[in-house]
A and B are shown apart, each in its own frame.
Chain A
Amino acid sequence: MIKDITIGQYYPAESILHRLDPRVKLGGTFAFIISLFLFQTLYGYIFVALFLAGIIKLSKVPFGYIVKGLKAIVFILLFTSFFNLFLTAGDPIYTLRFFKIKITITDNGIINFIFYSIRLILLILGSSLMTFTTTPNQLTDGLEKVMKPLNRIKVPVHEISMMMSIALRFIPILLEETDKIMKAQMARGADFESGGIIKKAKSMIPILVPLFVSAFRRANDLAMAMEARCYRGGDGRTKMKPLRYHSRDYMAYLCLLIYLIGIVGIGILERMGIFVNFL
């Protein structure tokens, strides 16, 4: 049921990707996302897809499990692709007349529709791979370390990363809570499936109210527990396991660099007109 939402969750496995320093993974994900927008032709897509497939293979996270995470964002995907399909200028292929509104599907629209969807899917797969292979704690540690220089200009780096880690930590807890409350209300005869939109929205109230109450209760408890352990922010706080780069991390950076050079190379070749966009 609702527990099937896998996006943003950690997937425990023994892989080189799991052992990498979170800073590498953060940087890698960032570079990967940017790299997705550096090319226009099919060659780029093939290159990125191959790279991603290799990484997924390395991560030992089952592919089916990753794809399951996509389910949660199908709506956003459809939404953007939909606009690409209908609102791109180009040679009209098919015109839909809906009363007085004319909707035209163009050749460029179809191309955009296909490729933007692929681009988005690649983006989500790539970035969810980071959360699959990195525990929230590692992620925050990495983020804190990467953002450390911002401390100089009075950005509360520690607080931001602490908030982030708590937020991530609470996703599974609140999902479980939602599941429990849904079941409890179903035991009282609640029906979340049938009826129109308004009825469905109304049927959410018995879930949302207890969920909010419990979220506040948990936040309160957590704050109390942190205070009881004398938490007072990041000043002078040391780490039990400070982040240190190993040789595998340097290797990973090297791979990333090669990948980026590859992508930029493809981009340059495109500009020079060597790869003709045959579409």
Chain B
Amino acid sequence: MQIIFDKVNYIYSPGTAFARQAIKDVSFTINKGEFIGLIGHTGSGKSTLIQHMNGLIKATSGKIYFNGQDIYEKEYKLKQLRSKVGLVFQYPEHQLFETTVFKDVYYGPSNLGLDKLECDLRSYEALKMVGIGEELLDASPFELSGGQKRRVAIAGILAMKPEVLILDEPTAGLDPKGRDDILDQIAKLHEESNITIILVTHSMEDIANYADRLFVMNNGELVYQKPTKEVFSHYKELEEMQLAAPQVTYVMNALRDSGFLVKTDATTVEEAKDEILRVLKLRRNGDLS
């Protein structure tokens, strides 16, 4: 168990007219190497929740453990935690500031107090991982395209070699190609280096394609924390929370309702295809069970 939240509460500006409870009694555990999807409508507390994971926000009450250690203990070094739990904010390209792409990525590892060679190495590696070519290393980050900027910003976190990578809507505002590139790279990272991924997104398709387990936030509460398929079978409840299931789940349900007896638990296009073909084959054989 890598990350444990124990009854975490968070209240914004307590004691003023602006006071608002953003997180209510949230408890969960995340294991090493998991790929977690986190969904919830705008303002449901997702962003607040993930900022607790690397200690940027201190919970009003409750405990958080990382690798078995209480992160609110006095001797615990939050800076260390932040190097292990990488957090990529929404629109991370807005935080670029250096004169060249390479220097910007270099900023993260250099803050960890590593020697120059190690920093250089990590920066190169991270940029390679996100698919930024050598020809762009000396370009100004402000000259790049939106998708490239975002990949540079993600590389800035990857260069710190985190054990957990949290991404807050990493694909918002990108074109389909940019989106797929980034998600594929994240999936690859997950497979190759076995790092824990927490992906916040509004795209149910992305969740269905990548996440093993799905967390659903609603008005500051963690409503579901189950395997992705199980959560999507509650699609009616999800809709009440201004969420939805992937498109194919709806297609499968519609098929079933119109008498085409498919199982409705498919969440990706691949699964749906297999299921439909299976039923078609049965039909052709005249076996309509």
Give the interface of A toward B (CB within 8 A): 3, 11-13, 62, 64-65, 180-181, 183-191, 205-206, 208-210, 213-214
Segment with Cβ contacts to A, from B86-94, B208-216, B256-264, B267-275: B86-94
CB nearest neighbor in B for A188: B108
Interface residues on B, range: 20 to 34
CA of A188 to CA of B156, assembled, Å: 7
Q: If A62-B16, A187-B82, A188-B160 touch, does A210 touch B111 (CB 8 Å cutoff)? A: no
Known: A183-B56, A206-B107. A189 touches B156 (CB 8 A): no
A189 and B82 form a contact (CB under 8 A): yes
Any A CB within 8 A of the CB of B54: yes
Q: Which 8 A-B pairs give the minimum distances between C-beta atoms?
A: A189-B111, A209-B97, A184-B95, A188-B108, A187-B87, A184-B89, A206-B97, A183-B56
Pairwise interchain contact A185-B17, C-beta atoms closer than 8 A:
no
Instruction: Assess whether B107 is in contact with A188, with CB atoms less than 8 Å apart.
Output: yes
Are B97 and A205 in contact (CB-based, < 8 A)? yes
Q: Are B82 and A181 in contact (CB under 8 A)?
A: no
7 examples of A-B residue contacts, CB within 8 angstroms: A3-B13, A11-B17, A62-B16, A181-B95, A187-B157, A188-B82, A189-B108
> In the complex the two chains form, is A190's CB within 8 Å of B95's CB?
no
CB distance from B190 to the nearest CB of A (A): 19
| A11, A12, A213: most-surrounded residue (chain B CB, <10 A) | A213
Report yes or no: A191 in contact with B111, Cβ–Cβ below 8 A: yes
Which residues of chain B have C-beta atoms less than 8 A from A183's C-beta?
Answer: 51, 56, 89
Chain B neighbourhood of A189, CB < 8 A: 79, 82-83, 108, 111-112, 160
Partner-A contacts on B (CB < 8 A):
13, 15-17, 51, 54, 56, 79, 82-83, 86-89, 92, 94-97, 107-108, 111-112, 142, 156-157, 160
Residue of A3, A181, A186, A187 near B94 (CB, 8 A) is: A181
**A-B pair number, CB within 8 angstroms:** 63
Interface centre among A3, A64, A188 (most CB of B within 10 A): A188
Instruction: Name A210's contact: one of B16, B95, B112 (CB within 8 Å).
Output: B95
Cα of A254 to Cα of B219 in the assembled complex, Å: 48
| CB of A93 to closest CB in B, whole Å | 42
Q: Which of B13, B51, B95 contacts A185 (CB 8 A)?
A: B95
Once A65-B16, A206-B107 are accepted as A-B contacts, the answer to whether A187 and B56 lie under 8 Å apart by CB is yes
**How distant is the Cα of A13 from the Cα of B92 in the complex, in angstroms?**
36
CA distance A189 to B113 in the complex (A): 10
B55 to A, closest residue via Cβ: A186
Are A180 and B97 in contact (CB-based, < 8 A)? no
Q: Are B96 and A191 within 8 A (Cβ)?
A: no
B17 CB contacts on chain A under 8 angstroms: 11-13
Q: Are B86 and A187 in contact (CB under 8 A)?
A: yes
* Contacts A189-B112, A190-B111 known; 7 new A-B pairs at CB < 8 A: A65-B16, A180-B94, A183-B51, A184-B94, A184-B95, A187-B157, A189-B111
